[in-house]
Amino acid sequence: MNQILEQYQSFIKKYPKKAFHYRGDVINYRLFGTGQKMIVLFVGSSMFSSEAYFKLQEQLATHMQVLTIEDISMKITIERLTDSISYLIKLLEFKKVTLLGMSHGGGLAQVFAREHASQTEGLILYNTLTKPKEHNDISEKAINGILQTISELKELRKMMPLSVIKKALTDQIRQAIEDEDAFDLFQLLISKYSENDERQQMEIIKDLLSNYTFEKSDFKFLNYRSLIFYGYDDDPLGGTNLIESLVDLMTNPMLRFIDTDRFQLILDPEPMIDAIFEFMKIDKQKSAL
């Protein structure tokens, strides 16, 4: 019996996706949990969808309401996506929310925070994309590298099919994860990732890095209300190359090193959970009811 696979399947069944229609657009989301505060999740990284981080979502939901934006690589502009989420939050009768973004989802969280500042209580980012208006050499090189890869993707896939990339990631995980049950979960998650998912994900990232730049004044209202996680992750869509630029954009951010990576975080989100509860001033020992 594979316990972690059963937990994953149970999560999907217990908390099915819902569709929200707004001005001709449709966004998919999950909403569950208990408590007076809400956290909005833009999570997922590389080939892992938000569903992969089901343990993170379930633990957060013990003390707050969790709104997870699903399928954030869908064909919808970033402006329309963030506007739709803003209206959904209003319908759910929450005045302010905390945002949690990973990888390119962190870029979306930054856009939402800037464009909908009145609804943003706090901003939490992990291993994320950002494009500062004033580049340093490291951030500019990282951003240009990502954009070049996207522009060459079509030709690259002729020489190196997605199946080869998926196998390489599977082999990488095989070296990092010893537990067979956990490895089976990662194999399932990777098998679900399609060429269509990749194309749409790249379009979102291209939109972010081509059309959205940020400066310190954008986030001045989040004084002492941003949390940036950092570590030694090698996520190709974000990571340590952009940490310095991200810190410079925020006003008095809280920085937290977590000794984990995007693989282990799927299996054990506890290091992140503790820091999030501290940041949101939530006592884990008290019931959310």
Q: What is the pLDDT of residues 86-97, one digit of tens each?
A: 999 999 999 999
User: What sign does the dihedral 269-274-277-278 (CA atoms) show?
Assistant: negative
Tell me if 282 is assigned to some domain: no
Residue 241 pLDDT level (bands cut at 50, 70, 90) = low
Domain membership flag for residue 38? yes
Domain span including residue 230 = 3-277
Residue 201's pLDDT is what?
87
Q: State how far the Cα of 236 lies from the Cα of 94, in Å rounded to an integer.
A: 34
> Does 182 score more than 80 pLDDT?
yes
Q: Which residues contact 28 (CB under 8 A, 6 or more apart)?
A: 17, 18, 19, 20, 69, 70, 71, 74
285 domain residue, yes or no: no
In a domain, 195, yes or no: yes
Report the alpha-carbon distance of residue 276 to residue 270 in Å, rounded. 10
- The position carrying tokens 């990282």 is 142
Query: Which residues 6+ apart lie within 8 Å of 107 measured at CB?
Result: 101, 128, 129, 130, 131, 205, 208, 209, 212
- Residue of 122 and 244 predicted with greater confidence: 122
Chain mean position to CA 162: 22
Provide the pLDDT confidence category of residue 289 given band limits of 50, 70 and 90: very low
> How far apart, in Å, are the Cα atoms of 283 and each of 209, 220, 222, 242, 280?
37, 27, 22, 31, 9
- The verdict on residue 238 lying in a domain is yes
CATH number of the domain encompassing residue 147? 3.40.50.1820
Q: For residue 279, what are the contacts with CB-CB under 8 A and spacing of at least 6?
A: 98, 122, 124, 227, 254
Whole-prediction pTM = 0.93
142-171 tens-digit pLDDT: 788 888 888 988 888 888 999 999 999 999
Mean pLDDT along residues 230-237:
66
Q: Note whether residue 215 is domain-resident.
A: yes
Q: Assess if residue 205 is contained within a domain.
A: yes
CA atoms within 13 A on the CB side of 134: 6
Amino acid at 172: Q
Q: Which of 123, 118, 129, 145 is nearest to 214 (CA)?
A: 129
| For residue 214, pLDDT beyond 60 | yes
Instruction: Evaluate whether residue 286 is within a structural domain.
Output: no
Number of folded domains that form the chain = 1
